[in-house]
Amino acid sequence: MPKYLAAIPLCCFAVAVAGPLARAENPPASSPVPQGAHDILHQLDDAFVSLFEKVAPSVVIIEADKKPTGNDQDQSFDYYFHSPEGGENSHPPVPEPSVRSEGSGFIVRPDGYIYTNFHVIEDSDHIQVKLRDRRRFTARLVGADERTDIAVLKIEASNLPTVTLLDSDAIRVGQVCFAIGIPYNLDYSFCRGIVSAKGRGNLTSTSTKPMYEDYIQTDAFINPGNSGGPLFDVDGRVMGMNTLINGVGRGLAFAIPANMLNTVGSELIATGKVSHPWLGIEVSTLDEDAPIAGRFRGIESGVCVDTIEANAPAYKSDLRPYDVVTKVDGVSVLTAHDLQHEILRKKVGQSVDLSVWRAGKSFDIAIVTDELPADLTKFADNHTKAKTIYYEMYGLDLAPPQSGSQGQPATNKPAGGVTVNTVLSDTPASRAGVQSGDIITAVDEKPVADAVSCLQLLGSSGSHPHTILSLLRHGQKSRAILETGTGNKP
């Protein structure tokens, strides 16, 4: 489909008409608009005007200055990412150098507390807030949370007009919505659209830190400068905070939902910081087309545990990679987003019951949440290690063969295979006599290249009562027979 519609001259619609109709000199006049319809238009017109006048006094303009670094860009070109498509609008315009960020915000308490986006005020050393009545205030930063892109400002004023936040879980796709902001420095611009979708995520993959994403999608005409401004309903209640757009003029805008704003904003006002609950796992939506789909025969939906961070809360529990989480505290989770959404509702230190499916059996695992570390870099080595070796299947912790392992001398180690780091007690592997340091070279006579291929082969053998492992131990070939029909104990 072409990107732009071709302009069609009006003369293309002129048609030569023969016969009696062609001889009509005076075509009939257009029918007048019925009075009832005219009244409805007036009512709709008045409703839009009243809605703007109700919300606009609570919306503020934010000007955030920062010290020049020599390579700053005009931050009024808002925080939006490149379109995945090519073409004219695939990259944002390159602005002239500047040191001012301009965005929007809205007042949530009459004593001067304001919600906006973190990226609007990031790295700023001076923040000015301008109200609808043209008054200006110097604002101080109360607190900010980079992972949700929410910040709270405070100005010294009283009896200010405020917005009302609604329950964003009750928002329906198709609802009419509105926005007020300063696109391209055009103060208090008002636009209308509909809610296109809810629960959008994975939009900020270029972020250096993992983001908590649960966006409302809208086709309201949001542009750079709207960041931090309100998205609201026909009653003037705030649905969310406008935060992202996918290319200028595409009708793809995204807002942080009001419930997340309320939770994070209230904590920032109370303590100046936010503590996020953390299990320490990476998950993905169960996909029957995945390379190890055979591992999940018997389960149709859920969230697969891909990685467990070393020393994280989940690491200390019986949860294992390739477990499938189906519920959180009794609430069904079908996607990775569902799981994240439910965990974010919890408090730090709260016990969470996960309903887990493993090798045909279902059971519950309780995990006590911890606070998400401010700096995850200290987990980097363990994180890589967890991805590589902490696959617990049939009681095995696996790793690539290491030089000088007991399974094979360093001078004559196999090209493939996977090393057994640890054998869990009372599991098929321990009962079969597998030992730490053994090298698994084949599963049911099929060669093993690495941990991933070993897991694929073990998963595909899940329907058989026995699985034969070919092993190297102290340079000698051996084998072990896993009673796979019994499965792992939870």
Question: For residues 138 and 290, which has the higher predicted lDDT (pLDDT)?
Answer: 138
Write down the pLDDT at residue 29: 58
pLDDT at 50 over 60: yes
Write down the pLDDT at residue 6: 32
The answer to whether 353 touches 328, Cβ cutoff 8 Å, is yes
Same domain, 71 and 212: yes
User: 17 in a domain, yes or no?
Assistant: no
- Give the least confident one: 129-138, 367-376, 402-411: 402-411
Same domain, 425 and 318: no
pLDDT at 339 over 70: yes
Q: By percentage, how much of the chain surpasses pLDDT 90?
A: 38
Q: What is the pLDDT averaged over residues 269-292?
A: 81
Question: For residues 475 and 486, which has the higher predicted lDDT (pLDDT)?
Answer: 475
Q: Of residues 78, 145, 149, 397, which has the active-site annotation?
A: 149
Write down the pLDDT at residue 8: 29
Give residue-wise pLDDT tens across range 207-220.
456 678 889 999 98
User: 489 in a domain, yes or no?
Assistant: no
Work out how many domains the chain is built from and give that number.
Answer: 3
The answer to whether 284 touches 303, Cβ cutoff 8 Å, is yes
Q: What CATH number is attached to the domain comprising 309?
A: 2.30.42.10
Q: What confidence category does residue 21 fall into, taking pLDDT thresholds of 50, 70 and 90? A: very low
Where among 272, 289, 319 does a domain terminate? 272
Same domain, 118 and 266: yes
Q: What is the pLDDT averaged over residues 158-181?
A: 95
Q: What confidence category does residue 319 fall into, taking pLDDT thresholds of 50, 70 and 90? A: confident
Same domain, 290 and 429: no
Same domain, 225 and 316: no
Write down the pLDDT at residue 290: 56
Same domain, 245 and 306: no
Q: Which domain holds residue 316?
A: 278-377
Q: What is the pLDDT averaged over residues 19-26?
A: 46
Q: What CATH number is attached to the domain comprising 82?
A: 2.40.10.120
Q: What confidence category does residue 377 fall into, taking pLDDT thresholds of 50, 70 and 90? A: low
The answer to whether 439 touches 417, Cβ cutoff 8 Å, is yes
Give the predicted TM-score (pTM) of the model.
0.66
Same domain, 140 and 254: yes
The answer to whether 130 touches 100, Cβ cutoff 8 Å, is no
- Give the least confident one: 80-84, 241-245, 258-262: 80-84
Same domain, 52 and 191: yes
Average pLDDT, the chain: 78
Active site annotation includes 119: yes
User: 5 in a domain, yes or no?
Assistant: no
Active site annotation includes 227: yes
User: 403 in a domain, yes or no?
Assistant: yes
- Give the least confident one: 22-26, 79-83, 309-313: 79-83
Q: What is the pLDDT averaged over residues 470-475?
A: 84
- Give the least confident one: 215-224, 239-248, 455-464: 455-464
Q: What confidence category does residue 450 fall into, taking pLDDT thresholds of 50, 70 and 90? A: confident
Q: Which two tokens stand for residue 228?
A: 């931090």
Q: What is the pLDDT averaged over residues 180-186?
A: 84
Write down the pLDDT at residue 22: 43
pLDDT at 409 over 50: no
Q: By percentage, how much of the chain surpasses pLDDT 70?
A: 72
User: 258 in a domain, yes or no?
Assistant: yes
393 DSSP assignment:
B
Please give the single-letter amino acid code of residue 478.
S
Question: Is 446 exposed, middle or buried, given 0-12, 13-18 or 19+ CB atoms closer than 10 A?
Answer: middle
Same domain, 143 and 282: no
Same domain, 201 and 340: no
Q: What confidence category does residue 33 fall into, taking pLDDT thresholds of 50, 70 and 90? A: low
Cα–Cα dist 63/138, whole Å: 10
CA atoms within 13 A on the CB side of 123: 10
pLDDT at 489 over 70: no
Q: Of residues 78, 104, 119, 276, which has the active-site annotation?
A: 119
User: 487 in a domain, yes or no?
Assistant: no
Q: Of residues 101, 196, 227, 317, which has the active-site annotation?
A: 227
Q: Is 138 helix (H, G, I), strand (E, B) or coil?
A: strand
Write down the pLDDT at residue 289: 54
Identify which of 366, 341, 381 has the alpha carbon closest to the alpha carbon of residue 259.
341
User: 12 in a domain, yes or no?
Assistant: no
Write down the pLDDT at residue 67: 65
Same domain, 192 and 66: yes
Q: Which two tokens stand for residue 287?
A: 């996909």
Q: Is 319 helix (H, G, I), strand (E, B) or coil?
A: coil
Question: For residues 96 and 32, which has the higher predicted lDDT (pLDDT)?
Answer: 32
Q: What confidence category does residue 429 fall into, taking pLDDT thresholds of 50, 70 and 90? A: confident
Q: What confidence category does residue 9 fall into, taking pLDDT thresholds of 50, 70 and 90? A: very low
Write down the pLDDT at residue 375: 67
Write down the pLDDT at residue 200: 86
Q: What is the pLDDT averaged over residues 297-319?
A: 84
The answer to whether 97 touches 154, Cβ cutoff 8 Å, is no
Write down the pLDDT at residue 293: 55
User: 385 in a domain, yes or no?
Assistant: no
Write down the pLDDT at residue 247: 62
Same domain, 341 and 324: yes
Q: What is the pLDDT averaged over residues 60-77?
A: 64
Write down the pLDDT at residue 307: 77
Write down the pLDDT at residue 245: 80
pLDDT at 358 over 70: yes
